[in-house]
Structure 1
Amino acid sequence: MNGILPIWKPRGMTSHDCVIKVRKSLKTKKVGHTGTLDPEVEGVLPICVGEATKLVPFLTDTNKGYQATLKLGQSTITEDQTGEILDQTNVLHAIDPLKVKEVMQEFIGKIQQRVPLYSAVKVNGRKLYDYARAGEDVERPIRQVYIHELQFDYSKYLPDDKQQEIQFYVICSKGTYIRTLCVDIGKRLGYPAHMSHLIRSQSGPFQEHDTISIEKLENIQDDSSIHRYLRPLTEGVSHLDKLVVDTEMAHKVKNGQKFPLPEQIMKTDYFRLEHNGILLAIYQVHENKKEIKPVRVFKI
């Protein structure tokens, strides 16, 4: 069984918990997830099965889509709803929706984020949350990420006299911290803020309507039903450029051979080689700039 199984991860489960559930349901050990989702976050989690596990780093590198809720008036040590409150301020007046939209426009494109203190990013060989728990000061690294789309959902904007929740939809590059984005937007609006709720609505090409719940997966009794949800490997690398090969070249690709640099210009660092709609391999340009070489070859 080879393919990508888009799971709807429920709140309260880790990404690894989902992998264990899939291994048990599909009766196979060759299973891997494509990017950790915090236990408090629900949403789309593509699970790679069989030969698709070779795609994990390429799927992890794709853009993600989120539906987030920003809460004005409170900042927390973790930047989300799970942490203790650091600062609290009553929001006495409704924030002008036009101001919210204006501020959000400032965050579209390349932005810099300071990595949250409560994260698994390592500094000098130790995870940041270890420094936090030990009460030790540490310089948090700054990362550059990309916000492709940021939309304020005014239809769900319900201000009160103390705190306000702002809901928005964002499409962003890998490595983007949505909780930090909430904090930074709050600062631009003049208030402490944190992320109070988050749903991942998209991971690469996969969206909510592509997913299957853990509960439904556990109740499936036959492989044919599972195959309805199992997506082909080609979908997982649809963001990579494609090079179509003939039958003769396909045999050579399966043997992991190198080839002269094709005339077709590849815009992505890695590109996929296909024959009759089947993913054969992922290649990249050789260091000599005259050939292309295999990075992953699939036995399908």
Structure 2
Amino acid sequence: MDVALPKGTVTQNLETPLVVGWESVSVKANLADDKLDASWLIDVTDNGDLSGKVTLPNVLAEQKTIDGELNLSTFNLDFLQPLVGEFNQLKANLAADIKIKGDALHPELYGQFSVADLSLQGDISPIQVESGKVDIAFNGYNALLDANIQTNDGELKLEGDGNWQDLKAWRTKLRVFADELNVDVPPMVKVKVVPDMTIEANPSLAKITGSIGLPWGRVLVEELPQSAVAVSSDQVLLNPDMTPVNEEKAVPFNVETDVSISIGNDFTISHSVLRVDCAVSSMCLKKTKGHSCKVKSISLMARTVHLVRIC
């Protein structure tokens, strides 16, 4: 079986139309003597190619095996610009070279997936990314992640690994850390953040540990957020069948957190008639399995309080 599509485009009507085009699309498949061979090629206009091939030696076997590969030549994300808006920027080049082997229902992966020349600017991100690179290396049922994100004020690093050899006992681990980053969420928040967080997950538990430093910050509270307003204790959540939702089962696994937050002596919280200058402070948030999130320890001091009028 051979299928071929001529040159064409798909357009999503936005304020600035999003257009994805292709020069050609071809799919080939052949089944003979219980052996299936298939291949495909998508040649995207002014962009990279997505290609691959796969072989199933015996489609009638009870334990089917697979041998294949997936390739993505340098593929840029420039065509997504209409989605991020005129005053924002998203750029990146994707590439992949992955081999697929073993059990057809639980194959092993070998190869590399990478994101290069990453750039993210504008209000779509609280961190302005000047450049960045993300590499994921696959080796059977294991993967290693290494990423470096360069911002205007420093480098954000990510290191991680994962294993899915046993689908009932998969695991992942990710560390996110930086010397110092500027986080700007207009118009309310400008802070410097020093993160060092580790996130671990498996089918039954997600665990977040580490520390967050806030050496400098300017927070302007224009109005009280809805999340700060207490919800009535007699609130009842209903599902589409109009029966009460069991909030205890809202998350399919347990979550544990043990995070220390330290606030420096140049951190100011302002309102229309009030400004609080914080002294050196610290907070530790801890949640253990089966318990609600609690503040393990807290030390918050207002160095000065000013009655002011901010226009």
- TM normalised by structure 2 equals 0.21
Which entry has the higher C-alpha Rg, 1 or 2?
A: 2
Relative contact order, higher structure (CA 8 A, sep 6+)? 1
Higher helix share: 1
